[in-house]
Amino acid sequence: SAAEKDGHDWFMRKEIFEQPRAVADSLIGRRGAGGLLQLDEMRLADEEIRDLDKIIVIACGTSFYAGMVAKYAIEHWTRTPVEVELASEFRYRDPIVDNTTLVVAISQSGETADTLQAIRHAKSQGARVLAICNTNGSSIPRESDAVIYTHAGPEIGVASTKGFLTQLVACYLLALYVAQVKGTRYGDEIDEIMQQLEAMPDHIETVLESADAIYELARAHVGARSVLFLGRHAGYPVALEGALKLKELAYLHAEGFAAGELKHGPIALIEEGLPVLCVVPPRGRDQLHAKMLSGIQEVRARGARTICLAEEGDQAITPYADDLIRLPQVPVLLQPLVAIIPLQLFACELATALGHDVDQPRNLAKSVTVE
């Protein structure tokens, strides 16, 4: 009923708007004495964390894209090597796993068969397994050595939204915790990064305030046959997740690319009027922003219609954006938390305009319990 959906037409739309609260809830109680980060429920001893040689993140679907962001954050903040792998590939390729490996399984439902089989394999090889999961007492956390629960609350829409954001938060917390225990350089910046994370619910709220403009843009794309998404760094998994949302909900051909790969193939796809959604990284000291800008120029010069997601104050992007959606100014590693919001709204509205069932897309299941 409409009441269950808080007056929204779909659970998905309700869940998109719940994201500021879901992110805030995921951060409650994480700061302990002396400003130290605490992850009590994790149950991994400090020695175990210090002895880690490598981390392998395994997941499926949207959770896999959270894992890609996790890799960037964990390696940057902790200097621990991280691999990210699709759960369905992991077990069948004879991966190198032993008792100095931490396998991190990310699953909203905790029941995805591919992920469950992958952790069973990892355990049989001696690895420690940490689950990042939204469902208390589900199979994946039950079979793991440790768990970080996400605090999204029940997610009903088949396409994951608040589940994804809370997974990102859990991944950042894990990364910062490992940095703290290992005493890396970033161990001293935890307080600052936590403050940046604590500001995210307000930033997400700000993006949600531009929902109407994004809906209008989505409705203008009802006739699109294909949509491309470009991103770099932490914006690359956002591009992939934005494309996945369009496939899942609008049944539209959509692909995400790392913008640096354009010249190695995808640019051949560009033709007059093709919509290309570009996740523009913040303007930092490095070359990231300039490189993205040149990618956008290249596709636009070949006729693409560019829809750019760029931070407030980024004027360099304006001449190359046919449409411009503003994002709050946040560090690049945290940008997925704000950059995915317009893409969720875009897919939800476009699917609605096409007359599809947004909460129960054809052929998909909320939790896939067969391999």
Applying CB under 6 A, which of residues 88, 139, 150, 160 lies at the interface with ligand G6P? 160
Q: Which of 5, 182, 247, 366 is catalytic?
A: 366
Applying CB under 6 A, which of residues 60, 119, 148, 217 lies at the interface with ligand G6P? 60
Place of tokens 């360099």: 316
Q: What tokens appear for 209 in the block?
A: 């305030």
Minimum distance of ligand G6P from residue 35's CB (angstroms):
32
User: Which three-class secondary structure state does DSSP give residue 255?
Assistant: strand
86 binds ligand G6P (CB under 6 A): no
158 binds ligand G6P (CB under 6 A): yes
Minimum distance of ligand G6P from residue 159's CB (angstroms):
5
Nearer to ligand G6P, 160 or 180 (CB): 160
Nearer to ligand G6P, 61 or 235 (CB): 61
DSSP-assigned letters across all residues of 38-83: --GGG---HHHHHT--EEEEEE-HHHHHHHHHHHHHHHHHH---EE
Minimum distance of ligand G6P from residue 69's CB (angstroms):
14
Applying CB under 6 A, which of residues 19, 26, 101, 109 lies at the interface with ligand G6P? 109
138 binds ligand G6P (CB under 6 A): no
Alpha-carbon gap, residue 72 to 55, rounded angstroms: 12
From its phi and psi, is residue 251 left (phi > 0), alpha (psi between -120 and 50) or beta?
left
Q: Catalytic annotation on 162?
A: no
Minimum distance of ligand G6P from residue 16's CB (angstroms):
14
In the chain, which ranges are E strands? 54-59, 82-86, 101-107, 128-133, 146-149, 226-231, 253-258, 275-279, 305-311, 323-327
Say if residues 314 and 283 touch (Cβ distance below 8 Å).
yes
Applying CB under 6 A, which of residues 222, 364, 369, 371 lies at the interface with ligand G6P? 364
Q: How large is the angle between the packed helices 162-182 and 190-198, nearest 10 degrees?
A: 170
Minimum distance of ligand G6P from residue 96's CB (angstroms):
24
Alpha-carbon gap, residue 197 to 165, rounded angstroms: 12
Report the interface residues with ligand G6P, using CB under 6 A.
Answer: 60-63, 107-109, 112, 115, 158-160, 364, 366-368
Catalytic residues: 366
